[in-house]
Every structure is written in C-alpha cells, then in structure tokens.
Amino acid sequence: MTLGTYQYTSDPGTVELVPATAGRRIRVLRLLVACDSAGYVQLLSDPIGGGTAVSARLYVAAGKPMELVGARDGALAATVGKALGLASASTNPGVKMGLMLWYELV
C-alpha cells in the first residue's frame, strides 16, 4: 500500500495523481479530501486522455473532510495500464485543497 499526499493552492481542475504503470491497475483503498470551499471531486482513470469515471461525483463540504473508503475487490480502480487522476470543481476556485490517497498497484 502506498500513501500519496497532494496539496493545491487553488482548485486544480483535472490532474493526474498516480502515473500509469504498464500492465498494472491502480486500486484505491481510501481517499480523504479537505477544501476551504464546497465543491465536488471525482476519481478518473486516464485523466489526461479524456478520463473515465472511477467514482461518482463526490460532494465535499467547506471545511469538512470527505472520506471515501474503497476495498480490495477492485471496485475503485483505474483501467489496466492507465493513470489515476482527479477532477474537481469548487464554489471558490482560489481556495486550498488537500488530498490523501491510499492505493496499491495490482
């Protein structure tokens, strides 16, 4: 299991969180998101290549962390050989956003 931490000084839009690894899937075990403004986040497979949803759009309340717990059954995983990314939209794009992502390559 790997823990990735990410901090943005403004709403990042669509970003790659974990780069692709040939022949492997990136499986999400847990995601924790905090933002100073309300908004939405969504996990994506192949975020730069157009993106395929890995999760639903998830609401993040202003100042209240949002936690998404995955499982080892692969329900929250990027497509084999594709990167894992995040799309976000907040009501105030100039605020800070922080993420913690627990994942594994399978």
The CATH number assigned to the domain holding 73 equals 2.60.120.220
* Residue 8, H or E segment: strand 2-8
- For 37, the domain range is 2-105
pLDDT in tens, 63-99: 999 999 987 887 899 999 999 999 999 899 888 999 9
Whole-model pTM over 0.85: yes
CA distance 3 to 11: 21
Domains in the chain: how many in total? 1
pLDDT in tens, 28-46: 999 999 999 999 999 999 9
E strands, 11-57, are 14-18, 26-35, 39-45, 52-53
DSSP β-ladder status, 66-69 and 84-90? unpaired
